[in-house]
Amino acid sequence: MTDWAARIGWVVGLGLFVALVYWLMREGWKWRGTLQGDLPALPAAPSEPGEARPTVLTVLSTSGRYHGSTTAGQWLDRIVAHGLGTRSRVELTLTDAGLDVVRPGASDFFVPAAALRGARLDKGIAGKVLTEGGLLVVTWAHGDRLLDSGFRSDHAAEHGQWVDAINSMIDKTENPTETEGAR
């Protein structure tokens, strides 16, 4: 009827093949982390983060998903060092001191205001593709690299406020003597 020895052999062989592929993927992830070992440790939030930046309607704080970080401008070059490649839930808070990224179950980090380089709406980052404008991407300097970090708020309609607030914050830090009336 059925050759059980051959069937069991195929199942065991397939199981070993899947285990090998998984092991190779894990080794590749670890190797990528080793290659990115020159990245400095992630900054921690200051003890006095400053006041939360208000917008017209509300304080800029939100929850959502962190989808990872990549080399700026290269949406497929994932950064895995220091846990930046780990997807997780996130609580974001933008203050005068910078962007506080709290990730339950993963490493929290803080992006100082001086390190922020820009924010935009995009459709994808390594491992996640959404509809156009469905992803908040924050560009920031870490060590000698520029990184893009992708976030998706639980309320995607807030993304525009975040882009405006971060970009206006950057304009003020780049031109501290310039005033609104002088433009």
User: Is there a single domain that holds both residue 90 and residue 156?
Assistant: yes
**DSSP code at position 45:** P
* Stretch 143-169: mean pLDDT: 90
User: Is there a single domain that holds both residue 75 and residue 28?
Assistant: no
Q: What is the pLDDT of residue 49?
A: 55
Angstrom distance (rounded) from CA 84 to CA 132: 23
User: Is there a single domain that holds both residue 16 and residue 66?
Assistant: no
* Stretch 165-181: mean pLDDT: 64
Distances (CA, A) of 177 to 13, 61, 112, 181: 69, 28, 20, 12
User: Is there a single domain that holds both residue 92 and residue 8?
Assistant: no
User: Is there a single domain that holds both residue 79 and residue 157?
Assistant: yes
User: Is there a single domain that holds both residue 6 and residue 85?
Assistant: no
Name the band, by pLDDT with cuts 50, 70 and 90, for residue 150: very high
**Nearest by Cα to 93 from 52, 134, 138:** 52
User: Is there a single domain that holds both residue 73 and residue 11?
Assistant: no
**Is the pLDDT assigned to residue 138 strictly greater than 60?**
yes
Angstrom distance (rounded) from CA 171 to CA 175: 6
Q: What is the pLDDT of residue 50?
A: 55
Q: What is the pLDDT of residue 180?
A: 42
In a domain, 43, yes or no: no
Tell me the two tokens of residue 116: 């922020």
**Domain membership of residue 13 as a residue range:** 1-35
Q: What is the pLDDT of residue 17?
A: 96
Q: How many helical (H) and strand (E) elements, i.e. helices and strands, does the chain have? A: 2, 10
Angstrom distance (rounded) from CA 127 to CA 9: 35
* Stretch 24-38: mean pLDDT: 85
Residue 52 CA to its chain's centroid (Å): 20
**Is the pLDDT assigned to residue 181 strictly greater than 60?**
no
User: Is there a single domain that holds both residue 29 and residue 74?
Assistant: no
Return the top range by mean pLDDT from 48-52, 79-83, 100-104.
100-104
Mean of the per-residue pLDDT values of the chain: 83
Of 122 and 52, the structure prediction assigns the larger pLDDT to 122
Angstrom distance (rounded) from CA 173 to CA 98: 11
In a domain, 159, yes or no: yes
* Stretch 124-133: mean pLDDT: 82
